[in-house]
Amino acid sequence: MKRGPTEDALGRPLRDLRISVTDRCNFRCPYCMPAEAFGEQYAFLPRPEILSFEEIERLARLLVGLGARKLRITGGEPLVRAQLPKLVALLAAIPGVEDLALTTNGFLLARHADALAGAGLSRVTVSLDSLDPATFRQLSGSPHDPERVLEGIHAAAEAGLGPVKLNCVVQKGVNDDGLVALARHFRGTGHVMRFIEYMDVGTRNEWDPDHVVSAREIVERIDAVFPLEPAEPNYPGEVARRHRYRDGAGEIGVITSVTAPFCGDCSRARLTAEGQLVTCLFARGGRDLKTPLRSGASDEELLEILAGVWRRRSDRYSEERAARTSPARAGQRIEMYQVGG
């Protein structure tokens, strides 16, 4: 069963695997899981339909055999999945895994940071769209203030999961007035604040290009208060464009998938909680892996399916969006909570 690095139809290797472990979340962010659509009556996936930790480990091990080196656990909110450190330990033990990370909203992070680190997690990324309590409540769809998330960030760093990366999705007229405050708060901490252009992921967020604050404007606003200079990427294909503070107090990152798409370097595959292999954040759907997995397919048969999906991959949605002269309708598209961003 000899396999090796696999390239897609555009010559892009598979290097990153994002693994969604649940479709549930304890927040109701309006651009992902708005409360009016995901209320008490919403039918989430029944437990038997979600991949077990052992099934996830098997698929991850096979995808590592095809070239994946960086694994990231996502959701929904991954920390609502019970016994998550058990999965971390299984994934950390796969030969060839060089980086194992977790993306979370941070609300439950303080409770779990030590166990996750002990199981072999490398680092965490925390979504934090605002430090202003009212804006935080609006964008998280919750009654909470950001303090508990900040406690989680501190606990993660204390557990050895730092430096922590912080992700802020920037929306014009919603939270763009808090960019400098976020930069100021994390300057000098060793953590990296990253600002993400508002994207048309899924069908729920009523995306309009007029709501996008460009990476250029984000950098200009912060540079006017805390002077910045461009920094080289840490590795080929790094998503965030790095900018260092000129006084040595750290760095920020900006993710430019709207104004400067980076599809040409995209090396990500995504595994949903119900076992779909998705090859683009903006895909209409994925390839069902759960059925062959639970029908007794051998590793070789599963590898053939996985390699075939990646070899046929030609997704370049963000580049195609940038080439259009008017916004396209979202149509049928996989939702962010299903693939974890």
d(CA 338, CA 160): 28
Mean pLDDT of 153-176: 96
Q: Is the pLDDT of residue 325 over 50?
A: no
**How many CB atoms are closer than 10 A to CB 93?**
12
Mean pLDDT of 321-325: 62
3-state secondary structure of 211: helix
Query: Where residue 318 falls among pLDDT bands split at 50, 70, 90?
Result: confident
In this predicted structure, what is the pLDDT of residue 259?
80
Q: Is the pLDDT of residue 267 over 70?
A: yes
In this predicted structure, what is the pLDDT of residue 241?
94
**Closest to 215 in 3D by CA, of 229, 196, 192, 200:** 196
Question: How far separated are the first and last CA of the chain, in Å rounded?
Answer: 32
| pLDDT, tens digit, 9 for 90 and up, residues 217-257 | 999 999 999 999 999 988 777 889 999 999 999 999 999 88
DSSP 74: E
**Closest to 182 in 3D by CA, of 198, 169, 163:** 169
**Closest to 255 in 3D by CA, of 211, 284, 219:** 219
Report the range out of 134-148, 235-249, 315-329 with the highest average pLDDT. 134-148
3-state secondary structure of 269: strand
Q: Is the pLDDT of residue 209 over 80?
A: no
Share of the chain above pLDDT 70, in %: 90
3-state secondary structure of 241: strand
Q: Is the pLDDT of residue 202 over 90?
A: no
**Closest to 116 in 3D by CA, of 103, 98, 134:** 103
3-state secondary structure of 165: strand
Mean pLDDT of 270-290: 92
Q: What are the structural domains, with CATH classification, of the chain?
A: 16-339 (3.20.20.70)
Specify the residue for token string 């994002």. Answer: 18
Mean pLDDT of 143-148: 96
Helix locations, the chain, DSSP H: 53-65, 84-92, 109-119, 133-140, 147-158, 179-186, 215-223, 290-294, 299-312, 317-323, 336-339
Q: Is the pTM of this model over 0.95?
A: no
In this predicted structure, what is the pLDDT of residue 238?
80
| pLDDT, tens digit, 9 for 90 and up, residues 5-61 | 899 999 999 999 999 999 999 999 888 888 888 888 888 999 999 999 999 999 999
Mean pLDDT of 285-308: 97
- The tokens describing 311, both together, are 């070899």
